[in-house]
Amino acid sequence: MERVAIVARLRPGAEERAEKLLTSGPPFDLSASGIERHSVFLSAGEVVFIFEGHEVEWIVDDLIDGPSHYELQRALDDWRSIVDGPPRIAREQFAWDSEGAATAGSATWS
C-alpha cells in the first residue's frame, strides 16, 4: 500500500474555516474511489491530507482532474480561498508499524 500527502499552508486566521470545511467530510465517495484509508491533519498554519491505497497517487490525480467530480471541484474552490500558495505533494520516505515492518523510499534506515 502506498501513501501520499497533500500539504497546504493556510492563510493567517484560516484555521477555523478549515475546521468547518473538514466537518463536511470528503466531497466524494471514499469507498467507491479506490482509496483504502484517508485522514486529515490540521494545525494553526497547515492542513495535511493523507491518502493510502494501491497506486493511490494515480487515484488522487484522477479525482482532482476528473471532469465529472463537480462536488470535489466546488470543495477545492472553497479551500483555495483559505490556502496560501499552491499545495505541495509529499511522498512517503519512511514508515514503521508495530509488527516490525519498516519501509523506506529514498531514505535508508538501519
Question: Is residue 109 in some structural domain?
Answer: no
Is the four-CA dihedral 87, 31, 4, 47 of positive or negative sign? positive
- For residue 92, the enclosing domain spans 2-104
- DSSP states of 29-61 as a string? -HHHHT-SEEEEEE-SSEEEEEEEETTHHHHHH
Question: Is residue 32 in some structural domain?
Answer: yes
The number of folded domains in the chain is 1
Question: How far are the Cα atoms of 18, 76, 80 from residue 9, in angstroms, in the given order?
Answer: 11, 14, 11
Contact between 42 and 15 (Cβ < 8 Å): yes
Question: Is residue 14 in some structural domain?
Answer: yes
Question: Is residue 110 in some structural domain?
Answer: no
Question: How far are the Cα atoms of 57, 71, 97, 102 from residue 27, in angstroms, in the given order?
Answer: 18, 6, 30, 32
Question: Is residue 12 in some structural domain?
Answer: yes
Question: Is residue 71 in some structural domain?
Answer: yes
Buried/exposed 32-45: b ≥16 CB within 10 Å, e otherwise:
ebbbbebebeeeee
What pLDDT digit, counting tens, does each position of 55-86 carry? 999 999 988 887 667 788 888 899 999 999 99
CATH number, domain of 36, equals: 3.30.70.1090
pLDDT tens string, the chain, 110 residues long: the values are 899 999 999 999 999 999 999 998 998 888 989 999 999 999 999 999 999 999 999 999 988 887 667 788 888 899 999 999 999 999 999 888 887 666 656 444 44
pTM for the whole structure: 0.86
Question: Is residue 56 in some structural domain?
Answer: yes
